Structure 1
Amino acid sequence: MEYRKLGATDLELSVIAHGAFALGGTMWGGNEKQDSINSIHASLDHGVTSIDTAPFYGFGLSEELVGEAIKGKDRSKIQLLTKFGLVWDGSNKGKGEFFFDAADNGKTIPVYKYASRENVIKEIEESLKRLGTDYVDLLQLHWPDATTSISETMEALELLIQQGKIRAAGVSNYSVAQLQQAAQTLKPASDQVPYSMLNRSIEKDLVSYASATHTGIIVYSPMERGLLAGKYFKEGSLKSDDHRNGYFTQFNLDKVKTLLQSIEPIATDKGVTLAQLVLRWTTLQPGISVVLAGARNAAQAIANAEAMSLELTTEELQFINLQLAGLQ
């Protein structure tokens, strides 16, 4: 495993981080508790020391499972990354910005973006309890909240750093303009954003800005929620309550299938899976600090970690990028 400093902080994270969205089960067609815990143990055993979760994932369940999985482990060797700012329990009392209606066990639950000072302070206490720890390594705003000033949110994060409850503060889904505005109060350590072979929009301005300002970039959905692993094209079925049924419709699936068929021989020649090839390509892109990789069981977690052992030549990277150009 390779480890990188996150932006200008003293946080050293594993380049592949364990993405714990699916562990919550909600929107992913459920989950198995022991498989989830085993996946985290497998990640830690194979050098993946960074775990990214959020209160919203499973409405608290993901954080609880992460907390249970790391219980008894050396906390100083684990980096916990969590978030705040998505409220579903009504505690915002109508404040904030309506985001969407989440479905959970047949119920419709309204979710709001809410990043007020009061809510930041409330949520960190809840996360610390669920995670079973007294500090979080990186606390990230989950989504921008148009009803709360950026300065108010940053001031709250600065307070939590001073109190020792978080080591560093980051954001998610922020534009360059929002990062610049935040930096007037507190410079974010990182920005967590979507990035993949199918979505390279951050290369337009965020990558260069982050490099110039020593801001870390943590990317999520590098596999486009499993689509780039190729399995969907071979099996083509998902559970009815799996959100990916709708998510995948944004892509030209014929072109994606052609892309995967063109680069799969590289994976075959090197004795790795298509998913591992895609992950490794992502970690090698300029400006990327950390790549989140989801795992719902130990086998997936081990495969994600082992992707870092793959070596790609300049020629192979150029070939892959040439195929990607065909998606435009």
Structure 2
Amino acid sequence: MKYQRLGSSDLNASVVAMGAWAVGGGKSWGNKVDDDQAIRTIESAFDAGINFFDTAPAYGWGHSEKLLGQVIQGRRDQFVIATKCGLWWDDDRGSFFADFEDRPIYRTLRPDTIAIEVERSLKNLNTDVIDLYQVHWPAVEPENTPIAETMAALLKLVEAGKVRAIGVCNVSEPELQEYLDCGPIVSDQFRYSMMYREADNDVLPLCRKQGLSTLTYMSLEQGLLTGKVTAATTFKEGDIRAHAGWNPWYLPANRMRVIELLESWKPLCEKLGCNLTQMVIAWTLAQDGITHVLAGARHPEQIQQNAAAGDLTLDEETMRKINTDLAALGQPVQ
């Protein structure tokens, strides 16, 4: 496993991180993972060299954080734990975001809600400090807390020793610049994959310029790029992959194009001695400015395979072949 510092911090994090949404037990990502399996998956990730775990209060309504809190006991200093603030469901403070798993969710980055959220996350994680504390989504109208106020609240948490470093997620380029203008941040988390590269023309150049670490999510397109999703695969009601509007690559015609592309890459995998998942993660890490890939998992075998990509380097010929094929693939038909 390769490791890289998170921006200007002293946090040395594995380049493949475990995204802990799926093990949180929510309804939106397939069948529920029982706690024993979830804990085994987290422990298997650690045993495979992953020390970087990304969670959030909304992942299972705190359950994902609590599971991580169990695993890190007695070895807290060996883990880099990232969690988030900004999605709120206690009351209607903030701006309505969505009805999620039968609860109304609000976006709020007010200092008063952040103060409550950080204490709750510290308790869930059973720790006295959060390594990387990230704003989950930007604040929006009608209650659009100024970034300067949000950063002032976060910097107080750093000063108090409750947070080691600050990161952002899902921000625009102007928002990212405003955060940078208000104080030190070390990372930006955003959606990025072979099939979705909007950040190349938005936040990624600014991250490179400012020396920020980048944490990509959905880099496996919710499992589509693993090769395990077929034309016949169906998803249960409530699974977000059942709604093609969320990800048009899951529409039947688009899905078949991806499946055929992945099939054509199997000789590359044989040459490299890896599987499709590992090759896709390695390709993502090879992109200029991408430093860490968040990969979810529901069982130990998945996360062990994901972790192996942290040691994989793709040669120039393989990169050219993949990039040529991706250019020919183009965009999904809506």
Q: 1:227 — aligned with what?
A: 224
Counterparts in 2 of 1:273 and 1:235: CA distance versus 1, 3 Å: farther
User: For residues 247 and 126 of structure 2, what CA distance do their matches in structure 1 show?
Assistant: 39
Deviation at 1:265, TM superposition (A): 2.0
**After superposition, where does 1:123-202 map in structure 2 within 5 Å?**
123-146=117-140, 147-202=144-199
User: For residues 47 and 287 of structure 2, what CA distance do their matches in structure 1 show?
Assistant: 26
Match of 1:100 among 95, 98, 101: 98
Would the aligned equivalents of 2:176 and 2:203 in 1 still touch at CA under 8 Å?
A: no
Match of 1:302 among 291, 297, 304: 304
Deviation at 1:239, TM superposition (A): 2.4
| Helix, strand or coil at the partner of 1:232 | coil
1:117 aligns with 2:111: yes
User: For residues 108 and 303 of structure 2, what CA distance do their matches in structure 1 show?
Assistant: 32
Listed one character per residue, the Cα deviations across residues 99-139 of structure 1 (whole Å, up to 9, x for unaligned) are 11112xxxx21111111011111101000000010001000
Count of residue correspondences = 320
Q: 2:20 — aligned with what?
A: 20
User: For residues 202 and 104 of structure 2, what CA distance do their matches in structure 1 show?
Assistant: 33
Deviation at 1:212, TM superposition (A): 1.1
Q: 1:45 — aligned with what?
A: 47
User: For residues 260 and 198 of structure 2, what CA distance do their matches in structure 1 show?
Assistant: 21
Q: 1:2 — aligned with what?
A: 2
* Greater mean alpha carbon deviation, residues 246-255 or residues 200-209: 246-255
| Helix, strand or coil at the partner of 1:222 | coil
Q: Structure 1: 5+ residue runs without aligned partners?
A: none
Identity of aligned residues (%): 40
Q: Which amino acid aligns with 2:146?
A: S
Q: 1:205 — aligned with what?
A: 202
Q: Which amino acid aligns with 2:103?
A: I
Would the aligned equivalents of 2:231 and 2:255 in 1 still touch at CA under 8 Å?
A: no
| Helix, strand or coil at the partner of 2:60 | coil
Listed one character per residue, the Cα deviations across residues 156-184 of structure 1 (whole Å, up to 9, x for unaligned) are 11000000101000110011100111122
TM-score (norm 2): 0.92
Deviation at 1:141, TM superposition (A): 0.3
Counterparts in 2 of 1:235 and 1:33: CA distance versus 1, 3 Å: farther
User: For residues 268 and 305 of structure 1, what CA distance do their matches in structure 2 show?
Assistant: 18
User: For residues 2 and 127 of structure 1, what CA distance do their matches in structure 2 show?
Assistant: 28
Q: Structure 2: 5+ residue runs without aligned partners?
A: none
Match of 2:291 among 279, 289, 292: 289
* Greater mean alpha carbon deviation, residues 248-257 or residues 38-47: 248-257
Counterparts in 2 of 1:235 and 1:49: CA distance versus 1, 3 Å: farther
TM-score (norm 1): 0.94
User: For residues 307 and 200 of structure 1, what CA distance do their matches in structure 2 show?
Assistant: 20
Listed one character per residue, the Cα deviations across residues 215-252 of structure 1 (whole Å, up to 9, x for unaligned) are 21111111011111121116512222211111565122
Listed one character per residue, the Cα deviations across residues 284-307 of structure 1 (whole Å, up to 9, x for unaligned) are 111011110111111111111112
Would the aligned equivalents of 1:179 and 1:188 in 2 still touch at CA under 8 Å?
A: no
| Helix, strand or coil at the partner of 2:262 | helix
User: For residues 298 and 286 of structure 1, what CA distance do their matches in structure 2 show?
Assistant: 30
Deviation at 1:309, TM superposition (A): 2.9
Q: 1:217 — aligned with what?
A: 214
User: For residues 273 and 239 of structure 1, what CA distance do their matches in structure 2 show?
Assistant: 26
RMSD: 1.4
User: For residues 327 and 114 of structure 1, what CA distance do their matches in structure 2 show?
Assistant: 39
Q: Which amino acid aligns with 2:292?
A: V
Q: Which amino acid aligns with 1:253?
A: R
Match of 2:37 among 13, 35, 38: 35
Listed one character per residue, the Cα deviations across residues 46-99 of structure 1 (whole Å, up to 9, x for unaligned) are 110011000000111111111112222x21111000001101232xxx221111
User: For residues 302 and 235 of structure 1, what CA distance do their matches in structure 2 show?
Assistant: 26
User: For residues 219 and 283 of structure 2, what CA distance do their matches in structure 1 show?
Assistant: 10
Would the aligned equivalents of 2:2 and 2:311 in 1 still touch at CA under 8 Å?
A: no
Listed one character per residue, the Cα deviations across residues 4-56 of structure 1 (whole Å, up to 9, x for unaligned) are 01112222110000110111121113211111101110111111001100000
1:255 aligns with 2:257: yes
Q: 1:62 — aligned with what?
A: 64
